[in-house]
Protein backbone atom coordinates (compact mmCIF):
# COMPACT_ATOMS: atom_id res chain seq x y z
CA UNK A 1 0.00 0.00 0.00
CA UNK A 2 1.52 3.36 -1.00
CA UNK A 3 2.16 5.77 1.81
CA UNK A 4 -0.46 8.57 1.62
CA UNK A 5 0.30 12.19 2.45
CA UNK A 6 0.42 13.02 6.12
CA UNK A 7 -2.68 14.51 7.66
CA UNK A 8 -2.46 18.28 7.79
CA UNK A 9 -4.53 18.66 10.95
CA UNK A 10 -6.99 16.50 12.85
CA UNK A 11 -8.79 19.56 14.23
CA UNK A 12 -11.89 19.99 12.05
CA UNK A 13 -14.31 22.37 13.80
CA UNK A 14 -17.93 22.54 12.75
CA UNK A 15 -18.23 18.95 11.55
CA UNK A 16 -21.56 18.49 13.29
CA UNK A 17 -23.17 21.17 11.12
CA UNK A 18 -22.13 19.50 7.84
CA UNK A 19 -23.93 16.88 5.81
CA UNK A 20 -22.30 13.47 5.44
CA UNK A 21 -21.14 14.37 1.92
CA UNK A 22 -19.67 17.65 3.14
CA UNK A 23 -17.89 15.86 5.98
CA UNK A 24 -16.39 13.36 3.55
CA UNK A 25 -15.08 16.20 1.42
CA UNK A 26 -13.66 18.05 4.44
CA UNK A 27 -11.97 14.92 5.78
CA UNK A 28 -10.40 14.05 2.42
CA UNK A 29 -9.08 17.60 2.06
CA UNK A 30 -7.64 17.59 5.60
CA UNK A 31 -5.95 14.23 4.98
CA UNK A 32 -4.49 15.36 1.66
CA UNK A 33 -6.38 12.64 -0.22
CA UNK A 34 -8.40 12.66 -3.42
CA UNK A 35 -12.12 12.46 -2.49
CA UNK A 36 -12.47 9.20 -4.43
CA UNK A 37 -9.99 7.54 -2.05
CA UNK A 38 -12.51 7.72 0.78
CA UNK A 39 -15.49 6.63 -1.31
CA UNK A 40 -15.53 3.14 0.30
CA UNK A 41 -16.12 4.83 3.66
CA UNK A 42 -19.16 6.85 2.67
CA UNK A 43 -20.63 5.38 -0.52
CA UNK A 44 -23.51 2.92 -0.44
CA UNK A 45 -22.54 -0.57 -1.55
CA UNK A 46 -18.83 0.01 -1.03
CA UNK A 47 -18.40 -3.71 -0.27
CA UNK A 48 -19.50 -5.49 -3.46
CA UNK A 49 -21.45 -8.71 -2.98
CA UNK A 50 -18.87 -10.55 -5.07
CA UNK A 51 -16.14 -9.55 -2.60
CA UNK A 52 -18.32 -10.32 0.44
CA UNK A 53 -19.14 -13.73 -1.01
CA UNK A 54 -15.44 -14.57 -0.99
CA UNK A 55 -14.91 -13.43 2.60
CA UNK A 56 -17.33 -15.71 4.49
CA UNK A 57 -19.80 -18.53 3.83
CA UNK A 58 -23.48 -18.44 2.83
CA UNK A 59 -23.42 -14.72 2.02
CA UNK A 60 -26.81 -13.07 1.58
CA UNK A 61 -25.62 -9.48 1.49
CA UNK A 62 -23.86 -6.97 3.70
CA UNK A 63 -24.72 -5.31 7.01
CA UNK A 64 -23.89 -1.65 7.52
CA UNK A 65 -22.96 0.32 10.62
CA UNK A 66 -22.60 4.08 10.92
CA UNK A 67 -19.01 5.14 10.26
CA UNK A 68 -17.82 8.39 11.77
CA UNK A 69 -14.49 10.15 12.04
CA UNK A 70 -12.98 11.10 15.39
CA UNK A 71 -11.14 14.40 15.18
CA UNK A 72 -8.45 16.25 17.16
CA UNK A 73 -6.18 13.25 17.78
CA UNK A 74 -2.47 13.86 18.20
CA UNK A 75 -0.53 10.64 18.80
CA UNK A 76 3.25 10.70 19.25
CA UNK A 77 3.33 14.15 17.74
CA UNK A 78 1.36 13.31 14.62
CA UNK A 79 -2.25 14.22 13.81
CA UNK A 80 -4.78 11.54 12.88
CA UNK A 81 -8.36 11.56 11.66
CA UNK A 82 -9.67 8.26 13.01
CA UNK A 83 -12.47 6.24 11.36
CA UNK A 84 -14.82 4.53 13.80
CA UNK A 85 -17.57 2.03 12.86
CA UNK A 86 -20.05 1.93 15.74
CA UNK A 87 -23.79 2.03 16.42
CA UNK A 88 -23.72 3.56 19.92
CA UNK A 89 -24.40 7.30 20.25
CA UNK A 90 -21.85 9.58 21.93
CA UNK A 91 -18.77 7.41 21.25
CA UNK A 92 -17.29 9.41 18.37
CA UNK A 93 -18.18 12.75 19.92
CA UNK A 94 -16.77 11.81 23.32
CA UNK A 95 -13.46 10.54 21.93
CA UNK A 96 -13.09 13.64 19.75
CA UNK A 97 -13.75 15.99 22.66
CA UNK A 98 -11.24 14.28 24.94
CA UNK A 99 -8.66 14.42 22.16
CA UNK A 100 -9.40 18.13 21.85
CA UNK A 101 -8.68 18.62 25.56
CA UNK A 102 -5.42 16.64 25.31
CA UNK A 103 -4.27 18.21 22.05
CA UNK A 104 -2.77 21.47 23.43
CA UNK A 105 -0.84 19.46 26.02
CA UNK A 106 0.95 17.06 23.69
CA UNK A 107 -1.90 14.69 22.97
CA UNK A 108 -1.23 11.00 23.52
CA UNK A 109 2.12 9.26 23.92
CA UNK A 110 2.08 5.59 22.94
CA UNK A 111 4.66 2.82 22.79
CA UNK A 112 4.48 -0.90 22.12
CA UNK A 113 6.54 -4.02 22.51
CA UNK A 114 7.59 -6.24 19.59
CA UNK A 115 4.72 -7.91 17.67
CA UNK A 116 5.16 -11.30 19.33
CA UNK A 117 2.28 -13.78 19.06
CA UNK A 118 2.05 -17.21 20.67
CA UNK A 119 1.21 -20.56 19.13
CA UNK A 120 0.32 -23.33 21.57
CA UNK A 121 0.99 -27.02 20.94
CA UNK A 122 -0.72 -29.30 23.47
CA UNK A 123 0.94 -32.66 24.20
CA UNK A 124 -0.86 -35.49 26.02
CA UNK A 125 -0.12 -39.12 26.91
CA UNK A 126 3.24 -38.43 28.50
CA UNK A 127 4.86 -40.95 30.84
CA UNK A 128 7.74 -38.63 31.71
CA UNK A 129 6.41 -35.07 31.41
CA UNK A 130 9.42 -33.47 33.10
CA UNK A 131 11.78 -35.38 30.86
CA UNK A 132 9.69 -34.41 27.80
CA UNK A 133 9.97 -30.76 28.78
CA UNK A 134 13.75 -31.05 29.11
CA UNK A 135 14.01 -32.71 25.67
CA UNK A 136 12.01 -29.91 24.03
CA UNK A 137 14.22 -27.27 25.58
CA UNK A 138 17.30 -29.17 24.41
CA UNK A 139 15.88 -29.09 20.86
CA UNK A 140 15.10 -25.37 21.06
CA UNK A 141 17.34 -24.32 18.14
CA UNK A 142 16.01 -27.10 15.90
CA UNK A 143 12.39 -26.24 16.70
CA UNK A 144 12.92 -22.56 15.94
CA UNK A 145 14.75 -23.34 12.70
CA UNK A 146 12.04 -25.75 11.57
CA UNK A 147 9.26 -23.29 12.42
CA UNK A 148 10.95 -20.63 10.30
CA UNK A 149 11.68 -22.93 7.37
CA UNK A 150 8.21 -22.55 5.85
CA UNK A 151 7.85 -18.76 6.11
CA UNK A 152 10.93 -17.28 4.51
CA UNK A 153 9.05 -14.08 3.64
CA UNK A 154 8.29 -13.36 7.29
CA UNK A 155 11.86 -14.19 8.28
CA UNK A 156 13.18 -11.94 5.51
CA UNK A 157 11.18 -9.06 6.97
CA UNK A 158 12.85 -9.55 10.34
CA UNK A 159 10.11 -11.68 11.85
CA UNK A 160 9.65 -15.38 12.49
CA UNK A 161 9.87 -17.67 15.49
CA UNK A 162 12.21 -16.13 18.05
CA UNK A 163 11.95 -18.45 21.02
CA UNK A 164 9.97 -21.19 22.72
CA UNK A 165 8.47 -21.75 26.15
CA UNK A 166 7.43 -25.08 27.64
CA UNK A 167 4.63 -25.08 30.20
CA UNK A 168 4.05 -28.19 32.30
CA UNK A 169 0.73 -29.17 33.91
CA UNK A 170 1.54 -32.40 35.79
CA UNK A 171 -1.93 -32.95 37.26
CA UNK A 172 -5.01 -32.36 35.09
CA UNK A 173 -8.32 -34.27 34.75
CA UNK A 174 -6.85 -36.02 31.66
CA UNK A 175 -3.40 -36.69 33.08
CA UNK A 176 -0.08 -34.89 32.69
CA UNK A 177 -0.07 -32.22 30.00
CA UNK A 178 2.70 -30.24 28.35
CA UNK A 179 2.15 -27.13 26.24
CA UNK A 180 4.84 -25.80 23.93
CA UNK A 181 4.61 -22.10 23.08
CA UNK A 182 6.16 -20.74 19.90
CA UNK A 183 6.95 -17.04 20.27
CA UNK A 184 6.65 -15.56 16.81
CA UNK A 185 7.39 -12.03 15.60
CA UNK A 186 4.62 -11.51 13.03
CA UNK A 187 5.69 -8.01 11.88
CA UNK A 188 2.74 -6.12 10.29
CA UNK A 189 0.29 -9.02 10.38
CA UNK A 190 -2.20 -9.87 13.07
CA UNK A 191 -0.41 -13.21 12.93
CA UNK A 192 -3.03 -15.93 13.38
CA UNK A 193 -2.35 -17.67 10.08
CA UNK A 194 1.41 -17.51 10.48
CA UNK A 195 1.55 -19.00 13.97
CA UNK A 196 -1.14 -21.60 13.29
CA UNK A 197 0.76 -22.80 10.22
CA UNK A 198 3.96 -23.15 12.23
CA UNK A 199 2.20 -25.10 14.98
CA UNK A 200 0.55 -27.49 12.54
CA UNK A 201 3.81 -28.12 10.71
CA UNK A 202 5.76 -28.83 13.92
CA UNK A 203 3.25 -31.25 15.45
CA UNK A 204 4.83 -34.51 14.15
CA UNK A 205 8.30 -33.45 15.26
CA UNK A 206 7.02 -32.50 18.73
CA UNK A 207 5.46 -35.94 19.07
CA UNK A 208 8.74 -37.56 18.08
CA UNK A 209 10.72 -35.56 20.63
CA UNK A 210 8.30 -35.99 23.54
CA UNK A 211 6.83 -39.43 22.89
CA UNK A 212 3.38 -37.96 23.47
CA UNK A 213 0.38 -37.15 21.31
CA UNK A 214 -0.25 -33.63 20.01
CA UNK A 215 -3.83 -32.42 20.20
CA UNK A 216 -4.44 -28.67 19.95
CA UNK A 217 -2.09 -26.51 17.89
CA UNK A 218 -3.38 -22.98 17.65
CA UNK A 219 -2.59 -19.38 18.49
CA UNK A 220 -3.39 -17.73 21.82
CA UNK A 221 -5.36 -14.49 21.81
CA UNK A 222 -3.74 -13.52 25.10
CA UNK A 223 -1.01 -11.56 23.30
CA UNK A 224 0.82 -10.62 26.48
CA UNK A 225 4.11 -10.18 24.61
CA UNK A 226 2.51 -7.67 22.21
CA UNK A 227 1.44 -4.95 24.60
CA UNK A 228 0.69 -1.30 23.90
CA UNK A 229 0.97 1.46 26.52
CA UNK A 230 -0.78 4.79 25.97
CA UNK A 231 -0.65 7.82 28.24
CA UNK A 232 -1.77 11.40 28.43
CA UNK A 233 -0.89 14.20 30.81
CA UNK A 234 -2.82 17.44 31.14
CA UNK A 235 -3.16 20.20 33.72
CA UNK A 236 -6.28 19.90 35.82
CA UNK A 237 -7.33 23.39 34.69
CA UNK A 238 -8.02 21.86 31.26
CA UNK A 239 -10.94 20.05 32.89
CA UNK A 240 -12.69 23.20 34.14
CA UNK A 241 -16.43 23.32 33.42
CA UNK A 242 -19.00 26.05 33.98
CA UNK A 243 -19.99 24.43 37.24
CA UNK A 244 -16.85 22.67 38.46
CA UNK A 245 -13.17 23.36 38.97
CA UNK A 246 -10.86 21.12 36.98
CA UNK A 247 -9.17 19.93 40.16
CA UNK A 248 -12.50 18.56 41.38
CA UNK A 249 -13.18 16.88 38.04
CA UNK A 250 -9.71 15.30 38.06
CA UNK A 251 -10.23 14.04 41.60
CA UNK A 252 -13.55 12.54 40.52
CA UNK A 253 -11.87 10.75 37.61
CA UNK A 254 -9.25 9.26 39.94
CA UNK A 255 -11.90 8.17 42.43
CA UNK A 256 -14.04 6.57 39.71
CA UNK A 257 -11.06 4.67 38.36
CA UNK A 258 -10.12 3.46 41.82
CA UNK A 259 -13.41 1.60 42.12
CA UNK A 260 -12.66 -0.17 38.83
CA UNK A 261 -9.20 -1.11 40.07
CA UNK A 262 -10.55 -2.87 43.16
CA UNK A 263 -14.02 -4.12 42.12
CA UNK A 264 -14.55 -6.51 39.16
CA UNK A 265 -18.21 -5.47 38.84
CA UNK A 266 -17.16 -1.91 38.11
CA UNK A 267 -14.07 -3.01 36.17
CA UNK A 268 -16.22 -4.88 33.63
CA UNK A 269 -18.14 -1.70 32.77
CA UNK A 270 -15.02 0.44 32.97
CA UNK A 271 -13.22 -1.77 30.46
CA UNK A 272 -16.28 -1.98 28.24
CA UNK A 273 -16.06 1.80 27.98
CA UNK A 274 -12.44 1.51 26.85
CA UNK A 275 -13.49 -1.00 24.20
CA UNK A 276 -16.21 1.43 23.07
CA UNK A 277 -13.34 3.41 21.59
CA UNK A 278 -11.09 0.54 20.54
CA UNK A 279 -13.53 -1.81 18.80
CA UNK A 280 -14.87 0.76 16.29
CA UNK A 281 -11.35 1.51 14.98
CA UNK A 282 -10.46 -2.18 14.90
CA UNK A 283 -13.66 -2.88 12.98
CA UNK A 284 -13.20 0.02 10.55
CA UNK A 285 -9.72 -1.25 9.65
CA UNK A 286 -10.84 -4.83 9.00
CA UNK A 287 -9.16 -6.28 12.08
CA UNK A 288 -10.47 -8.95 14.44
CA UNK A 289 -12.28 -7.10 17.22
CA UNK A 290 -13.20 -10.38 18.93
CA UNK A 291 -9.51 -11.26 19.29
CA UNK A 292 -8.79 -7.81 20.72
CA UNK A 293 -11.68 -8.16 23.19
CA UNK A 294 -10.55 -11.62 24.30
CA UNK A 295 -6.98 -10.48 24.80
CA UNK A 296 -7.98 -7.34 26.65
CA UNK A 297 -10.20 -9.07 29.20
CA UNK A 298 -7.80 -11.96 29.73
CA UNK A 299 -5.01 -9.43 30.31
CA UNK A 300 -7.21 -7.58 32.81
CA UNK A 301 -7.41 -10.82 34.83
CA UNK A 302 -3.80 -11.96 34.33
CA UNK A 303 -2.98 -11.66 38.05
CA UNK A 304 -5.93 -13.78 39.16
CA UNK A 305 -8.39 -10.91 39.70
CA UNK A 306 -10.24 -8.93 37.03
CA UNK A 307 -9.31 -5.25 37.18
CA UNK A 308 -9.18 -2.03 35.16
CA UNK A 309 -7.01 -1.71 32.07
CA UNK A 310 -6.35 1.96 32.82
CA UNK A 311 -4.98 3.90 35.76
CA UNK A 312 -5.63 7.58 36.52
CA UNK A 313 -3.45 9.54 38.95
CA UNK A 314 -2.92 13.06 40.19
CA UNK A 315 0.74 14.00 39.82
CA UNK A 316 2.46 16.26 42.31
CA UNK A 317 2.74 19.08 39.75
CA UNK A 318 -1.00 19.45 39.35
CA UNK A 319 -1.45 17.28 36.28
CA UNK A 320 -3.89 14.46 35.66
CA UNK A 321 -2.09 11.42 34.25
CA UNK A 322 -3.86 8.56 32.54
CA UNK A 323 -2.36 5.31 31.24
CA UNK A 324 -3.75 2.33 29.35
CA UNK A 325 -1.91 -0.98 28.97
CA UNK A 326 -3.28 -3.94 27.02
CA UNK A 327 -2.50 -6.42 24.25
CA UNK A 328 -2.91 -5.03 20.73
CA UNK A 329 -2.76 -7.75 18.06
CA UNK A 330 -3.72 -5.85 14.91
CA UNK A 331 -2.35 -5.98 11.40
CA UNK A 332 -2.33 -4.10 8.12
CA UNK A 333 -1.65 -7.08 5.84
CA UNK A 334 -3.78 -10.14 5.21
CA UNK A 335 -7.40 -10.93 6.04
CA UNK A 336 -10.14 -8.35 5.72
CA UNK A 337 -7.60 -5.53 5.95
CA UNK A 338 -6.62 -6.47 2.39
CA UNK A 339 -9.94 -7.58 0.93
CA UNK A 340 -12.38 -4.99 2.32
CA UNK A 341 -12.29 -1.72 0.35
CA UNK A 342 -13.47 0.20 3.40
CA UNK A 343 -10.64 -1.14 5.54
CA UNK A 344 -8.11 -0.05 2.94
CA UNK A 345 -9.65 3.41 2.77
CA UNK A 346 -9.61 3.66 6.58
CA UNK A 347 -5.88 2.91 6.69
CA UNK A 348 -5.22 5.46 3.95
CA UNK A 349 -7.25 8.09 5.79
CA UNK A 350 -5.01 7.69 8.83
CA UNK A 351 -1.84 7.34 6.76
CA UNK A 352 -0.98 4.12 8.57
CA UNK A 353 2.22 2.42 7.42
CA UNK A 354 2.72 -0.29 10.08
CA UNK A 355 0.75 -2.45 12.46
CA UNK A 356 2.61 -0.81 15.33
CA UNK A 357 1.40 2.63 14.27
CA UNK A 358 -2.18 1.38 13.95
CA UNK A 359 -1.98 -0.06 17.45
CA UNK A 360 -0.77 3.29 18.76
CA UNK A 361 -3.78 5.12 17.33
CA UNK A 362 -6.24 2.51 18.55
CA UNK A 363 -4.86 2.63 22.09
CA UNK A 364 -5.04 6.44 22.13
CA UNK A 365 -8.72 6.29 21.19
CA UNK A 366 -9.37 3.73 23.93
CA UNK A 367 -7.73 5.96 26.53
CA UNK A 368 -9.68 8.99 25.28
CA UNK A 369 -12.95 7.07 25.48
CA UNK A 370 -12.18 5.97 29.03
CA UNK A 371 -11.41 9.53 30.03
CA UNK A 372 -14.69 10.69 28.51
CA UNK A 373 -16.68 8.14 30.48
CA UNK A 374 -14.95 8.90 33.77
CA UNK A 375 -15.27 12.65 33.23
CA UNK A 376 -19.00 12.26 32.60
CA UNK A 377 -19.39 10.18 35.75
CA UNK A 378 -17.48 12.81 37.70
CA UNK A 379 -19.59 15.70 36.40
CA UNK A 380 -23.05 15.53 34.85
CA UNK A 381 -23.42 11.75 34.88
CA UNK A 382 -23.00 9.54 31.89
CA UNK A 383 -26.68 9.11 31.06
CA UNK A 384 -27.42 12.77 30.40
CA UNK A 385 -24.87 13.20 27.66
CA UNK A 386 -25.57 9.78 26.19
CA UNK A 387 -29.32 10.34 26.03
CA UNK A 388 -28.85 13.73 24.39
CA UNK A 389 -27.33 11.96 21.41
CA UNK A 390 -29.66 8.96 21.69
CA UNK A 391 -32.57 11.37 21.18
CA UNK A 392 -31.75 11.52 17.48
CA UNK A 393 -32.29 7.75 17.22
CA UNK A 394 -35.60 8.14 19.02
CA UNK A 395 -36.67 10.87 16.61
CA UNK A 396 -35.80 8.71 13.61
CA UNK A 397 -37.67 5.75 15.11
CA UNK A 398 -40.72 8.00 15.47
CA UNK A 399 -40.57 8.84 11.77
CA UNK A 400 -38.63 12.11 11.70
CA UNK A 401 -36.61 12.88 8.57
CA UNK A 402 -34.40 15.73 7.42
CA UNK A 403 -34.52 18.87 9.54
CA UNK A 404 -37.22 17.35 11.75
CA UNK A 405 -34.67 14.95 13.29
CA UNK A 406 -32.75 17.71 15.04
CA UNK A 407 -35.91 19.69 15.87
CA UNK A 408 -37.65 16.74 17.52
CA UNK A 409 -34.47 15.52 19.27
CA UNK A 410 -33.85 18.93 20.80
CA UNK A 411 -37.47 19.19 21.91
CA UNK A 412 -37.65 15.82 23.66
CA UNK A 413 -34.33 16.49 25.40
CA UNK A 414 -35.59 19.89 26.60
CA UNK A 415 -38.81 18.27 27.85
CA UNK A 416 -36.89 15.51 29.63
CA UNK A 417 -39.12 12.97 27.90
CA UNK A 418 -36.90 11.06 25.46
CA UNK A 419 -39.50 8.60 24.25
CA UNK A 420 -40.91 7.55 20.90
CA UNK A 421 -44.40 8.55 22.01
CA UNK A 422 -43.29 12.09 22.80
CA UNK A 423 -41.41 12.33 19.52
CA UNK A 424 -44.44 11.16 17.56
CA UNK A 425 -46.64 13.73 19.26
CA UNK A 426 -44.24 16.47 18.15
CA UNK A 427 -44.47 15.16 14.59
CA UNK A 428 -48.23 15.26 14.75
CA UNK A 429 -48.45 11.48 14.66
Q: Residues in the chain with pLDDT < 70?
A: 1-7, 381-389, 429
- Please give the Cα distance from 64 to 86 (Å, whole number): 10
pLDDT confidence of residue 1: 38
Among the options 105, 150, 162, 272, which is catalytic? 272
> What was the pLDDT predicted at 385?
54
Q: Which of 88, 165, 263, 404 is catalytic?
A: 88
Active site residue 171: no
For 119, the enclosing helix (H) or strand (E) is: strand 116-124
Catalytic site includes residue 272: yes
Q: Which of 105, 150, 386, 390 is an active site residue?
A: 386
pLDDT in tens, 36-82: 999 999 988 889 999 999 999 999 999 999 999 999 999 999 999 99
Model pLDDT, residue 253: 97
pLDDT of residue 280: 98
CB under 8 A, 24+ apart: contacts of 36-39: 37/4, 37/345, 37/348, 37/349, 38/345, 38/348, 38/349, 39/345
pLDDT for the residue numbered 281: 98
Out of 79, 288, 356, 357, pick the active-site residue.
288
Distance CA 220, CA 234 (A): 36
Residue 181: active-site member: no
Asked if 130 is an active-site residue, the reply is no
Residue 421, pLDDT score: 86
Report the distance separating Cα 39 and Cα 33, nearest Å.
11
Q: What is the pLDDT, as a whole number, of residue 382?
A: 46
Q: State the pTM of this model.
A: 0.90
Question: Angle 60-61-62 (CA atoms, 0-180°, nearest 5)?
Answer: 140
Amino acid sequence: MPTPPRTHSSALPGMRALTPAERASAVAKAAGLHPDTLAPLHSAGALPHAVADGMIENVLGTFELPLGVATNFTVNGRDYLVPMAVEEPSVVAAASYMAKLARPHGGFQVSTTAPIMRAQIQVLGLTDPHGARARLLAHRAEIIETANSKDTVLVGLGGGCKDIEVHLFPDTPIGPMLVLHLLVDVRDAMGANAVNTMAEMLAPRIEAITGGTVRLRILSNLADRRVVTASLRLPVAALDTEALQGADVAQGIVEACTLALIDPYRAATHNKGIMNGIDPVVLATGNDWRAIEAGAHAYAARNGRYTALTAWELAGDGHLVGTLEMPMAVGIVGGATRTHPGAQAALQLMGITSAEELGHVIAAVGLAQNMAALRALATEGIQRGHMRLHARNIAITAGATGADIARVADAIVAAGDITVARARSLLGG
